[in-house]
Amino acid sequence: MCEESIPIEIPYGKTKLSCRLAAKNLVGIFTASLPLPAADPVRETSDALDHPIGSAPLEELARNVQSACVIASDHTRPVPSRILMPQILARLRKYNPAIDVTILIATGCHRPPTQAELIQKFGEKIVRREKIVIHDAFNSAELEEAGTLPSGGKLILNKAALHTDLLVSEGFIEPHFFAGFSGGRKSVLPGVASRVTVLANHCSEFIASANARTGNLEGNPIAEDMLYAADKAKLAFILNVVIDGEKRIVRAFAGAHRAAHEAGCQFLGELARITVPEVDIAITGNGGFPLDQNVYQAVKGMTAREAVTRDGGVIILAASCCDGHGGESFFRRMSEAASPRALLDEIAKIPRDETVPDQWEYQILARILDKHTVIVVTTQCDHALLHSMKLEAASSLDEALCLARAHVGEDAKIAVIPDGVSVIAGKKKHRIDLHTHSCRSDGTDTPRELIEHAAAAELAAIALTDHDTVEGIEEFLSAAGGHPELEAVPGVELSCRYGAREMHLVGLYIDHHNPELLAFLEKMRTERNLRNERIRLKLEALGYPITQEELQAAAGGAAIGRPHFAKILVERDYFANVRAVFEKLLKRGCPAYAPRELPPPEKAIEVIHQAGGIAVWAHPIYRCRNERAWAKRILKHFVPAGLDAVESYYSLFGREETQIMSSLAEEFQILESGGSDYHGGIRPDFALGSGAGGLWVPEQLLAKLKTKVGELRHEPKIPV
């Protein structure tokens, strides 16, 4: 019986490479979900120009000016300039035929395009008739200082862009591996900026930023510099397009540079994001010609695979690299480095204002090679050159797969992303739940059942935070041993009194054997027992007699709590379920409810820290109406007392409540946590991991929480 196989194709130069993969190894072929290309690309761009975003039409902007400069991309970018440029020129001259127009080729720090490349890009008519200036980032005579970037670097731009009455740009929007997205403001920086400015913007500190990643503009220091540069240059109008894998126009966006670019990024971002399971081997391309002309450009395609390939995995990249390495210093540093890790360590020490050419490119390549093997598939580039740059090389996809399997085994899981530069790739995201309860306090699941349910829900981490007890932690951690993919966090929820209010603090990553914690909990247990007796007497007075022996049997050795009273009353058929008992008798304000003496929050914070954990303010605002003001007042008091974090994510929170607590966490420089407050059957409307349905506590919170634990313990970081 023949093994089932599936054909794949990867863009390569102006052609494609193909092979077949065993179906048992292939986890999927992942592409952007772009709509069909525009039936009439000229009409699509014309319509965009007719309906500009955030701006008057281009022809109106040009009506009364003497000069205009149109920034155009160079030969390394697949911008359909033969369609865009004629329309831009026609609009500029519609009401002002005498306008003096300059086309400024945005080379950044690339080599200048040849005459043949200009003709291929614009057509012979435009190249012959129009005034074309090729930007030279190294020629100070053509450059002028225009200010200081937010990062502190000098903003130096081409004089042709600065000394014009109307600055316009064309371009295309695609995911960019450190600027977030291409297009828009990138035409100015790095497009027509000096070498000095580009180097400052591309410093090692910014490249290393977690926000300087594909598809992200928010908090991206590189993108923020670029926006500033475009504003200072007075970039007035852009025409940008989104293209598909065949370089055909899908959608056009025109107008003010910020508004039009944001609209284009939002459109593309929603369609280009793909979720890929973590794999052993990722096969991809760099979009074919002209984006795969050299190794320098091909690094972009590697970054999408970096996001989904496991540490120690293999990235197979089909790229012609017909122009070789693409940068002399890029090649030299990669070939001369002792190892990718040694190069990264060296780069990290370079100050922001001492960035050197191509540093960002070899920094990113070294980052990838530090964790992955990269095999470049090409017949147009010297394999010895690739080997000297710490890359492996193959002449076909089949040969590359043989090399890859030697690294990761025959049973390797493989993902195929045909066009690596057109997608925003990420691993499957998992939620976490750092606030749950078992039957050892007032939940209904055993600690082992809690672990099983968390694994079934595909949580990345779960914390057991029983009320005022750690009796379930041993069973909880033992059960988690059977689920290595699930992180089990030992915790506790401590009840406190602040003024007239009851306040709860969750302790995470606690040592549940800590003597100070155990003594504190014993005192809490004594008070809980006194409270239970008050509840028992109230129920008896209401006609619901319950003995201490019945309570102990219901608790099964766990700490007795209100759920055990409820359980007995349900078993006697007084009520239909536990929730009904709470609603009628046991919740705050009901006839059998009894308050208890509670410690101050400062003491609870102290005990959590003594146990090596971090103190989190649980469900901070859901019972308070003037939420932000009240929460801020609490934080002013307890952050100085050692409060480490707040639950910004909770079952009863909507977006507004989460935003309130996230902003306050940032203001007070504390961390964020979150959880469902899952209790099992007692609160069936709170599901594990998802709460009331809309809860998603992001896995990324764990890394910062673990780092904080290490700081409190004066230890190295807990591995993430």
- Residue 551 carries which DSSP code? H
For strand 501-508 and strand 487-498, is the pairing parallel, antiparallel, or unpaired? antiparallel
23-26 long-range contacts, Cβ below 8 Å, gap at least 24? 25/411, 25/412, 25/413, 25/414, 26/414, 26/415, 26/416
The token pair that represents 367 in the structure block: 């980052």
Among 669, 674, 611, 617, CA closest to 643? 617
Task: Give the closest residue to 21 by CA, choosing from 404, 387, 370, 287.
Answer: 404
Phi, psi of 466, deg, nearest 5 = -60, 150
Q: Are 308 and 425 in contact (CB under 8 A)?
A: yes
Length of the chain: 720
Whether 421 and 173 have beta carbons less than 8 Å apart is answered as: no
If you ran DSSP here, which 8-state letter would residue 679 be given? -
Q: Are strands 392-394 and 373-377 parallel, antiparallel or unpaired?
A: parallel
Residue with tokens 């009901």: 590
d(CA 270, CA 301): 19
As a whole number of angstroms, the distance between CA 613 and CA 470 comes to 13
What Cα–Cα distance (Å) separates residue 251 from each residue in 55, 258, 445? 18, 17, 52
User: Which of 110, 372, 467, 504 does the annotation list as catalytic?
Assistant: 110
464/199 Cα distance (integer angstroms): 49
For helices 81-94 and 115-122, the axis angle rounded to 10 degrees is 70
- Catalytic hit among 75, 135, 176, 372: 176
Q: Residue 372: what residue type?
A: H
Contact 323, 454 (CB under 8 A): no
- Residue type at position 507: G
What are the φ and ψ backbone dihedral angles of 389, each rounded to 5 degrees? -95, 15
Q: Estimate the crossing angle of helix 359-369 against helix 340-348, to 10 degrees.
A: 130
Catalytic: 176? yes
Let me know if 110 is a catalytic residue: yes
CA 249 to chain centre: 28
Q: SS3 for 582?
A: helix
Alpha helices (runs of H) in 397-514, residue ranges in sequence order: 397-408, 447-456, 473-480
Following DSSP, what letter does each residue of 376-412 receive, concatenated? EE-SSS-HHHHHHTT-EEESSHHHHHHHHHHHH-TT-
3-class secondary-structure state, position 650: strand
Q: Which helix (H) or strand (E) holds 436?
A: strand 431-436
| Full DSSP string of 56-115 | --HHHHTTT-SEEEEEEE-TTS---HHHHHHHHHHHHHHS-TT-EEEEEEE-TTSPPPPH
**What residues are annotated to the active site?**
110, 176
